[in-house]
Amino acid sequence: MKDLNLNQLRQGYDSGDISYSDLLELLKTDSRRGLIQLIDSIRRQRQRERDMIDRHNRMMEYEKELHRQGRSFVAGLDEVGRGPLAGPVVTAAVILDPDKPIYGLRDSKKLSHKQRVILADEIYHKAICISIDEQPAEMIDRINILQATKTSMLMAIKGLSQVPDHLLIDALTLDCPIPQTAIIKGDDQSCCISAASIVAKVYRDQRMYEYHQKYPEYGFDHHVGYGTAEHIAAIRRHGPSPIHRRSFLTNFL
């Protein structure tokens, strides 16, 4: 391996032809500074991968315990959009396949847009089933945001192609005959809740981008309906749009 340059060593490691142990052994007789940097980079990469696997295993503890109890189809539920001044509240229900792990799941708010999109694509490919529901601003104004969120979750459950035998829900309880567990900060504690959070977030962001095409004066593509200074100024300038939650605007109009 001494005859290989650093790029070739990296490619060999990435392809699996050269192991991390091989590189450490090479370091005993090869003092190239670049080799030391390469090994350090790979060491950090390996640590990140171990941390990701450890996080995944911790976040699967609720699901694994339910599987041990014979509950094969555990659905995670989460919502996105309870706080914005405009747009729908969106909920997702996701049943993951325990034989198809998805690494990198966590609270969608802690992920970049790009990370969410990549993970959402993997969730769609690997999950047993997914269902999404949205409740519009009119419904939120009519029955309040909490009840609209619960209604949306119940609709998402009904939309699943596989009836779940247990629900893991982020911090809410539902009037539903299916056994359920409410988990505080569930999108950072349970893989299936995290998956639901990510799917709902990507879906809602896309919906708000579509609304931006219809109502560009509000800047929905930037703030996705949240109460930023830019958004509040636009509401005062143009008045509320059809997708604004009138019950949320009493302090601004």
Write down the pLDDT at residue 2: 74
Where does the pLDDT of residue 13 fall: very low under 50, low under 70, confident under 90, or very high at 90 and above?
confident
CA distance 90 to 136: 9
Cα–Cα distance between 203 and 118 in angstroms, integer? Answer: 13
Length of the chain: 253
3-state helix, strand, coil in the chain (%, to 5): 55, 15, 35
CA distance 4 to 32: 12
pLDDT (0 to 100) of residue 53: 95
pLDDT (tens digit, 9 = 90+) per residue, 39-87?
A: 999 999 999 999 999 999 999 999 999 999 999 999 999 999 999 999 9
Cross-strand partners of 168: 76, 181
Q: How far apart are CA 153 and CA 164, in angstroms?
A: 13
What whole-number distance in Å separates Cα of residue 21 and Cα of residue 7? 17
Identify which of 164, 95, 93 has the alpha carbon closest to the alpha carbon of residue 132: 93
Strands (E), 25-158: 74-80, 89-95, 129-135
- d(CA 226, CA 32) in angstroms, rounded, equals 52
The yes-or-no verdict on residue 253 having pLDDT over 90 is: no
C-alpha 226, offset from chain centre:
18
Q: Does the structure show a pLDDT above 80 at 1?
A: no
Side chain identity, residue 36 = I
Domains in the chain and their CATH numbers?
A: 6-51 (no CATH), 61-201 (3.30.420.10)
pLDDT for 147-206, tens place per residue? 999 999 999 999 999 999 999 999 999 999 999 999 999 999 999 999 999 999 999 999
pLDDT, tens digit, for every residue of 199-248? Answer: 999 999 999 999 999 999 999 999 999 999 999 999 999 999 999 999 99
Question: pLDDT tens, 82-140?
Answer: 999 999 999 999 999 999 999 999 999 899 999 999 999 999 999 999 999 999 999 99
